[in-house]
Amino acid sequence: MTTAVVVGNPISADRRAGSIGVPFPDVEIPDVSVFEFLFGAVAEEDLARTALVDPKSGATTTYAQLISQIDAAAGALASRG
């Protein structure tokens, strides 16, 4: 089961008397890692799809490559403490 944290608008008029309101709703923050939030729903068949394109060179990165690169960077950071 996933829970979420709701972050209220810090200057919402309905939360504090005398403050100004803003037209944005509260933000719901899911109780998952950023990695899981971004890549948790990527299906196996989507791993070969393009995730990023370098506009200057035209080089592409697939979702599988991006996930691998993120894993490698996270591993390197973890090994450094």
**Which pLDDT score is estimated for 22?**
75
**Which residues have CB under 8 Å from 2's CB, separation 6+?**
30, 31, 32
pLDDT digits (tens, 9 = 90+) for 7-45: 555 555 455 555 567 788 888 888 998 889 888 888 999
Share of the chain above pLDDT 90, in %: 48
Q: Which residues is 53 bridged to in the sheet? A: 60
